[in-house]
Amino acid sequence: MTVDLHNYVATVENFPEPGVSFRDISPLMGDGVAYKQAVDEIAVFAKQLNVDLIAGPESRGFIVGSPLAYALNIGFVPARKGGKLPRKAVSASYSLEYGGENVLEIHEDAIKPGQRVLIVDDLLATGGTINATREIIEKLGGVVAGVAFIIELEALHGRDKIMQGEREVPMLSLMTY
Amino acid sequence: MTVDLHNYVATVENFPEPGVSFRDISPLMGDGVAYKQAVDEIAVFAKQLNVDLIAGPESRGFIVGSPLAYALNIGFVPARKGGKLPRKAVSASYSLEYGGENVLEIHEDAIKPGQRVLIVDDLLATGGTINATREIIEKLGGVVAGVAFIIELEALHGRDKIMQGEREVPMLSLMTY
């Protein structure tokens, strides 16, 4: 028996900016059944891709990626916001959805050349954080085996930005809005 | 067969301040075997306490707490830094270890009165974030069933701050330094 994950998404109008409908997966994460179902659905996708590691951007990507890594018995690599990692790291910058720029970083020793990495996040909007995470993984010699999201906001065309050129990778979204 | 988790802690001298030895659990999280072992050890503790929910402070608490919630088939409640949650939230402030003050918030509907909550984090230092998380949980009518950490820095006496007065709760630390 499965639940309809849509019932565990809270839609908040005009957040963080007027006119924006924010899709909040807190209710999904707070419910043991829905949370496990979502993680397990992504785990099936990850197994098909033979991934060695899960990576997720700070900080909601941690809540999707770390249980997934646990479920697959593999490691989790956080892509942290700039200046937070204590050891030597590789970084990439990206434009914020609502203006400004940010930096993500991954420890240099977190990914070995040739390792297959699945990037996950709670929500795909414009794709900026995902492309920055991908850039770092590839600088470290890793292979982005795929990308997965709980929610994809189709109107923002993040999928096209991730896939542009010859950079197509397998992608899973559990829900689209 | 179990691994020695100490082998998966990187010690970084003089970070984030001169004279401080930073204990970094990135290698532990990045290794499937060590990560699963750590989460499973905390899961045994959590089961004894009959917890309904796992709560963890942003953002390394997410990487410990969310796989634990998954392992136990229960929900995960993030205690987020101020201003990030989209819906009505309850907050508490705490002093930062290296100066300044911060705010943590939990969505008002994330915890129901009487629910038993285990608070987890990667590392117990002065206990400020844990006490703030506890304050919010109790404001919402939840019961803090226990606290658990991968690492406890004994010299900072965080344990005493959490337990002060008649507020003793079961506590687990997988490693002490």
d(CA A54, CA A50): 11
A97–B contact, CB cutoff 8 A: no
Asked if residue B94 belongs to a domain, the reply is yes
One-letter identity of residue B32: G
User: Is residue A139 in a domain?
Assistant: yes
**Using the beta-carbon criterion (under 8 Å), do A70 and B67 form an inter-chain contact?**
yes
- A59 contacts in B (CB within 8 Å)? 58-59, 62, 78, 80
Alpha-carbon distance B21 to B177, whole Å?
A: 10
Q: What is the pLDDT of residues A80-116, one digit of tens each?
A: 999 999 999 999 999 887 778 999 999 999 999 999 9
Q: Is residue A32 part of a domain?
A: no
Report if residue B12 sits inside a domain: no
Cut 0.90: pTM above it: yes
Q: Residue A172 pLDDT more than 80?
A: yes
Distance CA B128, CA B148 (A): 14
In a domain, A49, yes or no: yes
Q: Is A22 part of any domain?
A: no
Which residues from chain B sit within 8 angstroms of residue A76, using beta carbons?
29-30, 35, 63
* Higher-confidence position of B167 and A169: A169
What is the total count of domains within chain A? 1
Cβ neighbours of B166 (radius 10 Å): 5
Domain that holds residue B127: 38-176
The pLDDT of residue B124 is above 90: yes
Q: Looking at the domain assignment, is residue B101 inside a domain? A: yes
What band does B165 get if pLDDT is binned at 50, 70 and 90?
A: confident
* A33 and A27 Cβ atoms separated by less than 8 Å: no
Tell me what ipTM this predicted complex has. Answer: 0.96
Candidates B29, B31, B51, partner chain A, best to mutate (most A CBs within 10 A) = B29
**Of residues A29, B54, A177, the one with CA closest to residue A8:** A29
A 29-88 near B (Cβ less than 8 A): 29-33, 35-36, 39, 53, 58-59, 62-63, 66-67, 69-78, 80, 85-87
Is the residue at B160 inside a domain?
yes
Q: Distance (Å, rounded) from C-alpha B112 to C-alpha B8?
A: 37
Give B-chain residues touching A58 at CB under 8 angstroms: 59
CATH code (residue A99): 3.40.50.2020
Which of A1, A66, A96, A120 has the most B C-beta neighbours within 10 Å, making it the best mutation to test the interface with B? Answer: A66
pLDDT digit string, tens, across residues A8-42: 999 999 988 898 899 999 999 999 999 999 999 99
Q: By CB neighbour count within 10 A (0-12 exposed, 13-18 middle, 19+ buried), where does A95 fall?
A: middle
Asked if residue B53 lies in contact with residue A22, where contact means CB atoms within 8 angstroms, the answer is no
